[in-house]
A = this chain, B = another copy of it.
Amino acid sequence: MDVLGVLNLGEVAGYFSKMAMFPVFDLAYYIVSILYLKYEPGSVEVSRRSPVASWLCAMLYCFGSYILADIMLGVCPIDYFQHNSHILLASAVWYLIFYCPLNLFYKCVAFLPIKLVLVALKEVVRTRKIAAGVHHAHHAYHHGFLIMVITGYVKGSGVALMSNFEQLLRGVWKPETNEILNMSFPTKASLYGAILFTLQEAHILPVAKSTLICVFTLFMATSKVFMTARHSHGSPFALIESWVCHVLFGSPLASDDDHHAPAAPAASPKTKEELSEGTRKRKSKKAE
Protein backbone atom coordinates (compact mmCIF):
# COMPACT_ATOMS: atom_id res chain seq x y z
CA MET A 1 0.00 0.00 0.00
CA ASP A 2 2.91 2.35 0.81
CA VAL A 3 4.45 1.83 -2.56
CA LEU A 4 1.10 2.58 -4.16
CA GLY A 5 0.82 5.70 -2.04
CA VAL A 6 4.25 6.95 -3.07
CA LEU A 7 3.56 6.36 -6.72
CA ASN A 8 0.11 7.85 -6.36
CA LEU A 9 -1.23 4.61 -7.76
CA GLY A 10 -4.18 4.63 -5.40
CA GLU A 11 -5.84 7.39 -7.42
CA VAL A 12 -5.07 5.64 -10.68
CA ALA A 13 -6.60 2.45 -9.29
CA GLY A 14 -9.66 4.38 -8.15
CA TYR A 15 -10.08 5.94 -11.56
CA PHE A 16 -9.47 2.61 -13.29
CA SER A 17 -12.01 0.77 -11.16
CA LYS A 18 -14.72 3.29 -12.06
CA MET A 19 -14.08 3.46 -15.79
CA ALA A 20 -17.14 2.69 -17.94
CA MET A 21 -16.97 -0.71 -19.63
CA PHE A 22 -19.46 0.08 -22.39
CA PRO A 23 -18.81 0.23 -25.30
CA VAL A 24 -15.05 -0.29 -25.80
CA PHE A 25 -14.28 -2.98 -23.24
CA ASP A 26 -17.60 -4.74 -23.73
CA LEU A 27 -16.99 -4.76 -27.47
CA ALA A 28 -13.64 -6.48 -26.93
CA TYR A 29 -15.36 -8.95 -24.61
CA TYR A 30 -17.98 -9.78 -27.24
CA ILE A 31 -15.40 -10.12 -30.01
CA VAL A 32 -13.11 -12.47 -28.10
CA SER A 33 -16.02 -14.51 -26.75
CA ILE A 34 -17.63 -15.04 -30.16
CA LEU A 35 -14.19 -15.73 -31.62
CA TYR A 36 -13.89 -18.64 -29.19
CA LEU A 37 -17.35 -19.78 -30.26
CA LYS A 38 -16.19 -19.84 -33.89
CA TYR A 39 -13.19 -21.96 -32.84
CA GLU A 40 -15.57 -24.63 -31.54
CA PRO A 41 -15.77 -27.52 -34.00
CA GLY A 42 -19.08 -27.49 -35.86
CA SER A 43 -20.11 -23.98 -34.94
CA VAL A 44 -19.64 -22.66 -38.49
CA GLU A 45 -21.91 -25.37 -39.90
CA VAL A 46 -24.53 -24.56 -37.25
CA SER A 47 -24.36 -20.89 -38.24
CA ARG A 48 -25.24 -21.88 -41.80
CA ARG A 49 -27.94 -24.39 -40.93
CA SER A 50 -29.64 -22.62 -38.05
CA PRO A 51 -28.82 -18.93 -37.54
CA VAL A 52 -31.16 -18.81 -34.53
CA ALA A 53 -29.19 -21.53 -32.68
CA SER A 54 -25.92 -19.84 -33.62
CA TRP A 55 -27.15 -16.46 -32.42
CA LEU A 56 -28.39 -17.99 -29.18
CA CYS A 57 -24.99 -19.60 -28.59
CA ALA A 58 -23.29 -16.28 -29.28
CA MET A 59 -25.56 -14.60 -26.72
CA LEU A 60 -24.70 -17.32 -24.18
CA TYR A 61 -21.01 -16.71 -24.86
CA CYS A 62 -21.44 -12.97 -24.35
CA PHE A 63 -24.01 -12.88 -21.55
CA GLY A 64 -23.73 -16.36 -20.00
CA SER A 65 -22.23 -14.90 -16.85
CA TYR A 66 -25.24 -12.63 -16.30
CA ILE A 67 -27.67 -15.45 -17.06
CA LEU A 68 -25.96 -17.87 -14.68
CA ALA A 69 -25.64 -15.30 -11.90
CA ASP A 70 -29.31 -14.39 -12.29
CA ILE A 71 -30.26 -18.07 -12.06
CA MET A 72 -28.10 -18.47 -8.96
CA LEU A 73 -29.71 -15.47 -7.29
CA GLY A 74 -33.20 -16.53 -8.36
CA VAL A 75 -34.05 -13.55 -10.54
CA CYS A 76 -35.24 -13.42 -14.16
CA PRO A 77 -32.45 -15.14 -16.15
CA ILE A 78 -33.06 -13.03 -19.26
CA ASP A 79 -33.06 -9.83 -17.22
CA TYR A 80 -29.91 -8.59 -18.96
CA PHE A 81 -31.64 -8.78 -22.34
CA GLN A 82 -33.41 -5.51 -21.54
CA HIS A 83 -30.17 -3.69 -22.38
CA ASN A 84 -30.97 -3.39 -26.05
CA SER A 85 -27.76 -1.59 -27.00
CA HIS A 86 -25.59 -4.34 -25.50
CA ILE A 87 -27.58 -7.02 -27.27
CA LEU A 88 -27.44 -5.15 -30.56
CA LEU A 89 -23.69 -4.68 -30.27
CA ALA A 90 -23.13 -8.36 -29.49
CA SER A 91 -25.44 -9.37 -32.33
CA ALA A 92 -23.54 -7.15 -34.75
CA VAL A 93 -20.26 -8.74 -33.65
CA TRP A 94 -21.81 -12.19 -34.09
CA TYR A 95 -22.99 -11.31 -37.59
CA LEU A 96 -19.65 -9.86 -38.61
CA ILE A 97 -17.63 -12.78 -37.25
CA PHE A 98 -19.78 -15.46 -38.83
CA TYR A 99 -21.17 -13.90 -42.01
CA CYS A 100 -18.87 -11.05 -43.04
CA PRO A 101 -18.00 -11.33 -46.76
CA LEU A 102 -14.56 -12.85 -47.35
CA ASN A 103 -14.38 -13.50 -43.60
CA LEU A 104 -12.70 -10.08 -43.36
CA PHE A 105 -13.77 -9.20 -39.83
CA TYR A 106 -12.73 -12.59 -38.49
CA LYS A 107 -9.33 -12.31 -40.15
CA CYS A 108 -8.80 -8.86 -38.64
CA VAL A 109 -9.70 -9.73 -35.06
CA ALA A 110 -7.96 -13.12 -35.15
CA PHE A 111 -4.74 -11.41 -36.27
CA LEU A 112 -2.47 -12.07 -33.29
CA PRO A 113 -1.44 -8.50 -32.25
CA ILE A 114 -5.05 -7.31 -32.40
CA LYS A 115 -6.26 -10.44 -30.65
CA LEU A 116 -3.78 -9.90 -27.81
CA VAL A 117 -5.12 -6.39 -27.21
CA LEU A 118 -8.70 -7.66 -27.26
CA VAL A 119 -7.85 -10.51 -24.89
CA ALA A 120 -6.32 -8.04 -22.44
CA LEU A 121 -9.42 -5.82 -22.63
CA LYS A 122 -11.64 -8.85 -22.05
CA GLU A 123 -9.85 -9.62 -18.79
CA VAL A 124 -10.59 -6.08 -17.60
CA VAL A 125 -14.29 -6.80 -18.03
CA ARG A 126 -13.97 -10.21 -16.36
CA THR A 127 -12.38 -8.78 -13.22
CA ARG A 128 -15.02 -6.08 -12.98
CA LYS A 129 -17.73 -8.70 -13.34
CA ILE A 130 -16.29 -10.79 -10.52
CA ALA A 131 -16.10 -7.74 -8.26
CA ALA A 132 -19.64 -6.71 -9.19
CA GLY A 133 -20.97 -10.22 -8.63
CA VAL A 134 -19.42 -10.48 -5.17
CA HIS A 135 -20.66 -7.02 -4.28
CA HIS A 136 -24.17 -7.78 -5.47
CA ALA A 137 -24.32 -11.03 -3.49
CA HIS A 138 -22.91 -9.24 -0.43
CA HIS A 139 -25.78 -6.79 -0.70
CA ALA A 140 -28.35 -9.58 -0.64
CA TYR A 141 -26.61 -11.89 1.85
CA HIS A 142 -24.45 -10.04 4.33
CA HIS A 143 -22.89 -13.13 5.83
CA GLY A 144 -23.36 -15.52 2.92
CA PHE A 145 -19.67 -15.76 2.13
CA LEU A 146 -20.18 -18.85 0.01
CA ILE A 147 -22.94 -17.19 -1.96
CA MET A 148 -20.56 -14.30 -2.66
CA VAL A 149 -17.86 -16.68 -3.86
CA ILE A 150 -20.30 -18.63 -6.03
CA THR A 151 -21.79 -15.48 -7.56
CA GLY A 152 -18.39 -13.96 -8.29
CA TYR A 153 -17.12 -17.25 -9.67
CA VAL A 154 -20.11 -17.63 -11.95
CA LYS A 155 -19.85 -14.02 -13.10
CA GLY A 156 -16.19 -14.54 -13.99
CA SER A 157 -16.46 -17.92 -15.67
CA GLY A 158 -19.62 -17.28 -17.65
CA VAL A 159 -20.49 -19.71 -20.41
CA ALA A 160 -17.68 -22.12 -19.48
CA LEU A 161 -19.66 -23.38 -16.49
CA MET A 162 -22.61 -24.24 -18.72
CA SER A 163 -20.60 -25.40 -21.70
CA ASN A 164 -22.27 -28.83 -21.62
CA PHE A 165 -25.66 -27.22 -22.20
CA GLU A 166 -24.35 -24.63 -24.62
CA GLN A 167 -22.89 -27.47 -26.69
CA LEU A 168 -26.20 -29.32 -26.50
CA LEU A 169 -27.82 -26.33 -28.21
CA ARG A 170 -25.47 -26.97 -31.13
CA GLY A 171 -26.23 -30.71 -31.11
CA VAL A 172 -22.96 -31.67 -29.40
CA TRP A 173 -22.96 -33.69 -26.18
CA LYS A 174 -19.79 -34.45 -24.23
CA PRO A 175 -20.93 -35.78 -20.85
CA GLU A 176 -17.53 -37.24 -19.95
CA THR A 177 -16.10 -33.85 -19.03
CA ASN A 178 -17.14 -30.42 -17.85
CA GLU A 179 -15.59 -27.20 -16.70
CA ILE A 180 -15.74 -28.15 -13.01
CA LEU A 181 -13.98 -31.48 -13.56
CA ASN A 182 -11.29 -29.94 -15.78
CA MET A 183 -10.99 -26.29 -14.94
CA SER A 184 -9.34 -24.10 -17.51
CA PHE A 185 -7.15 -21.19 -16.43
CA PRO A 186 -9.84 -18.45 -16.62
CA THR A 187 -12.29 -20.56 -14.60
CA LYS A 188 -9.70 -21.27 -11.93
CA ALA A 189 -8.59 -17.66 -11.83
CA SER A 190 -12.23 -16.57 -11.51
CA LEU A 191 -12.63 -18.86 -8.53
CA TYR A 192 -9.53 -17.49 -6.82
CA GLY A 193 -10.55 -13.97 -7.75
CA ALA A 194 -14.02 -14.50 -6.30
CA ILE A 195 -12.45 -15.75 -3.07
CA LEU A 196 -10.16 -12.71 -2.91
CA PHE A 197 -12.97 -10.25 -3.54
CA THR A 198 -15.12 -12.01 -0.94
CA LEU A 199 -12.32 -11.74 1.61
CA GLN A 200 -12.01 -8.06 0.73
CA GLU A 201 -15.78 -7.54 1.07
CA ALA A 202 -15.67 -9.29 4.47
CA HIS A 203 -12.83 -6.96 5.54
CA ILE A 204 -10.48 -9.89 6.06
CA LEU A 205 -8.22 -8.75 3.23
CA PRO A 206 -7.04 -5.23 4.24
CA VAL A 207 -6.93 -3.80 0.74
CA ALA A 208 -9.04 -1.17 -1.00
CA LYS A 209 -11.38 -2.71 -3.55
CA SER A 210 -10.09 -0.45 -6.34
CA THR A 211 -6.52 -1.64 -5.67
CA LEU A 212 -7.59 -5.25 -5.72
CA ILE A 213 -9.44 -4.73 -9.00
CA CYS A 214 -6.38 -3.06 -10.46
CA VAL A 215 -3.91 -5.73 -9.34
CA PHE A 216 -6.14 -8.66 -10.29
CA THR A 217 -6.82 -7.12 -13.71
CA LEU A 218 -3.09 -6.73 -14.31
CA PHE A 219 -2.46 -10.34 -13.31
CA MET A 220 -5.29 -11.69 -15.47
CA ALA A 221 -4.43 -9.58 -18.50
CA THR A 222 -0.72 -10.39 -18.48
CA SER A 223 -1.36 -14.10 -17.87
CA LYS A 224 -3.92 -14.39 -20.63
CA VAL A 225 -1.92 -12.31 -23.12
CA PHE A 226 1.15 -14.41 -22.40
CA MET A 227 -0.77 -17.66 -22.75
CA THR A 228 -2.55 -16.57 -25.92
CA ALA A 229 0.73 -15.47 -27.47
CA ARG A 230 2.40 -18.80 -26.61
CA HIS A 231 -0.72 -20.89 -27.47
CA SER A 232 -0.22 -22.35 -24.02
CA HIS A 233 -2.93 -23.95 -21.87
CA GLY A 234 -0.89 -24.35 -18.72
CA SER A 235 -1.65 -22.32 -15.66
CA PRO A 236 0.60 -20.22 -13.42
CA PHE A 237 -1.08 -21.95 -10.46
CA ALA A 238 -0.03 -25.45 -11.56
CA LEU A 239 2.89 -25.89 -9.19
CA ILE A 240 1.23 -24.53 -6.05
CA GLU A 241 -2.02 -26.34 -6.82
CA SER A 242 -0.23 -29.58 -7.36
CA TRP A 243 1.39 -29.35 -3.90
CA VAL A 244 -1.70 -28.14 -2.08
CA CYS A 245 -3.88 -30.84 -3.66
CA HIS A 246 -1.27 -33.46 -2.83
CA VAL A 247 -1.12 -32.42 0.81
CA LEU A 248 -4.82 -31.77 1.37
CA PHE A 249 -6.52 -34.22 -0.96
CA GLY A 250 -3.90 -36.87 -1.65
CA SER A 251 -3.95 -36.12 -5.37
CA PRO A 252 -1.01 -37.69 -7.22
CA LEU A 253 1.87 -35.23 -7.46
CA ALA A 254 2.73 -34.01 -10.97
CA SER A 255 5.91 -35.76 -12.15
CA ASP A 256 9.32 -34.04 -12.42
CA ASP A 257 9.07 -33.77 -16.19
CA ASP A 258 6.02 -31.63 -15.76
CA HIS A 259 7.84 -29.39 -13.31
CA HIS A 260 10.45 -28.66 -15.91
CA ALA A 261 7.74 -27.62 -18.30
CA PRO A 262 5.23 -25.90 -16.03
CA ALA A 263 3.59 -24.17 -19.01
CA ALA A 264 2.09 -27.50 -20.13
CA PRO A 265 1.56 -29.51 -16.94
CA ALA A 266 -0.81 -32.05 -18.52
CA ALA A 267 1.25 -32.49 -21.65
CA SER A 268 2.62 -36.04 -21.37
CA PRO A 269 -0.58 -38.03 -21.81
CA LYS A 270 -2.28 -36.12 -24.59
CA THR A 271 -5.69 -35.40 -23.15
CA LYS A 272 -8.92 -35.22 -25.02
CA GLU A 273 -9.11 -31.48 -24.51
CA GLU A 274 -5.78 -30.92 -26.12
CA LEU A 275 -6.62 -33.11 -29.06
CA SER A 276 -9.83 -31.22 -29.57
CA GLU A 277 -7.79 -28.07 -29.17
CA GLY A 278 -5.73 -29.25 -32.10
CA THR A 279 -8.88 -29.82 -34.13
CA ARG A 280 -10.05 -26.40 -33.09
CA LYS A 281 -6.93 -24.77 -34.42
CA ARG A 282 -7.24 -26.64 -37.69
CA LYS A 283 -10.93 -25.83 -37.95
CA SER A 284 -10.26 -22.17 -37.32
CA LYS A 285 -7.64 -22.27 -40.04
CA LYS A 286 -10.24 -23.72 -42.36
CA ALA A 287 -12.76 -21.12 -41.25
CA GLU A 288 -10.36 -18.45 -42.38
Contact = CB atoms under 8 A, between A and B. Distances in A.
B51 A144 contact: no
Interface string A59-82: 000000000001111111111011
Contact of A249 (B71, B99, B145, B176): B99
A231 to B, nearest CB: 24
Given A78-B150, A143-B84, A49 B251 contact: yes
A140 to B, nearest CB: 8
B48 A252 contact: yes
A68 to B, nearest CB: 11
Interface residues of A, number: 55
Given A170-B181, A177-B171, A147 B56 contact: no
A53 B181 contact: yes
A168 interface: yes
A87 interface: yes
A182 interface: yes
Interface string A98-109: 110000000000
Interface in A249-272: 249-252
Contacts of A177: 171
A87 B144 CA distance: 11
A73 B76 contact: yes
A79 B74 contact: yes
A110 interface: no
Contacts of A150: 78, 81
A147 B78 contact: yes
A248 B181 contact: no
A76 B172 CA distance: 29
A171 B271 CA distance: 15
Nearest to A75: B74
Interface in A160-195: 164, 168-173, 175-178, 180-183, 191
Q: For A72, A249, A252, which residue has the most chain B Cβ atoms within 10 angstroms? A: A249
5 tightest A-B CB contacts, nearest first: A173-B175, A74-B76, A82-B144, A81-B146, A53-B180
Interface of A: 46-53, 56, 70-79, 81-82, 84, 87, 98-99, 140-141, 143-147, 150, 164, 168-173, 175-178, 180-183, 191, 245, 248-252
